[in-house]
A and B are shown apart, each in its own frame.
Chain A
């Protein structure tokens, strides 16, 4: 009887080892996202419940926020009128000079329906996929700021790698000084590395995507410099960046097509 139990144990261990060796090859990231796609509807329902519960608990905060936004709205309306005037003037001048407009970007609105279950990676799942013409490496934004890029794409859901994830690296530029660097995600936030030692970057400077590389187009706002210090190697400066988007509270995003 004991011998039988032992042989069963060996079989189980053997199967687990085989699984460890071959399953990752069998189930590539594409297969995994397809399997996760099955859970799209229950995920949408449970995330909907979560957002409602969260909004109810933040009722007072939302009411105050609503009041501030209403105040801001009137001043923004005035500003919009001025900008419309400037836009018309800009168009007339462009026509005069024979400038051609760039192809206009298209946005696909998507809802955040899930996050990484273990809290080890900064990724989100959105409810748009290949069916909605979303594809790998498309840029994801929210409001004015950069959120990340599509990492895996299923039929009706996609996994987005956030800019705060440790695997996220992108080329960036400081808006005021035009200095370039690499924006890297860390567990404690995002950092802009490889700024020169005599860099004039200061707190409050805005950091945007530089457009180098194939993924991120130029001019998407990443965030503001919150502090700047020498790197531990003392070969360059690094700037801590406060992301423009509140990554922890993302509910809706826009995928740039």
Chain B
């Protein structure tokens, strides 16, 4: 089922010009629900998929999506985490910021509107998480 969401997210991101990063949400979700290693694994799968469909660096994608998935699970395990919209928003927002910042550090490629992308993605995260959960 995860792969279907991944492909749908890919089609949406490829076609619609949006300030969103649905892939980060798909890496954060397993981390929050199943722990750091599920986040790491699903993040790696997401990174491989993004590597195929985008012109960006293949290895950097795998590394960063794995990192975001792993971190979401690891942080969740070490703090008091209550499943609610606010927490999902915060984790998704931080995930997008970490992804684009690390991408800039590693490749010197910058996205023009990181903050708005993080904000819109995070705002959509409760809905996306609910759909993916089903």
What is A's interface to B at a CB cutoff of 8 Å? Answer: 8-9, 12-13, 15-16, 19-21, 23-24, 27, 32, 35-36, 39, 42-43, 46-47, 49-50, 113-121, 123, 125, 151, 159, 161, 166, 187-188, 248
Contact = CB atoms under 8 A, between A and B. Distances in A.
Contacts of B113: 119
B15 A9 contact: no
29 contacts: A8-B37, A19-B48, A20-B62, A20-B63, A21-B59, A23-B62, A24-B51, A32-B51, A39-B10, A46-B11, A46-B12, A46-B15, A47-B15, A115-B15, A117-B10, A117-B13, A117-B23, A118-B21, A118-B23, A119-B111, A119-B112, A120-B109, A120-B110, A121-B54, A121-B55, A166-B109, A187-B110, A188-B112, A248-B17
Most chain A C-beta atoms within 10 Å of own C-beta, residue among B13, B15, B16, B53 = B15
Interface of B: 7, 10-17, 19, 21, 23, 37, 40-41, 44, 48, 50-59, 62-63, 66, 103, 109-113, 117
Contacts of A13: 40
Nearest to B18: A119
A57 to B, nearest CB: 13
Given A21-B59, A117-B53, 20 more contacts: A8-B37, A15-B44, A16-B40, A16-B62, A19-B62, A23-B58, A23-B59, A39-B7, A46-B11, A46-B16, A119-B112, A119-B113, A119-B117, A120-B54, A120-B56, A121-B56, A123-B55, A161-B55, A187-B110, A188-B112
B14 A121 contact: no
Contacts of B110: 120, 187
A159 to B, nearest CB: 6
Contacts of A114: 14-15
Given A116-B54, A117-B50, A119-B117, A24 B15 contact: no
Contacts of B12: 46
Contacts of B52: 27, 32, 35-36
Most chain A C-beta atoms within 10 Å of own C-beta, residue among B50, B59, B63 = B59
A51 B112 CA distance: 24
Nearest to B21: A118
B15 A43 contact: yes
B54 A23 contact: no
A120 B103 contact: yes
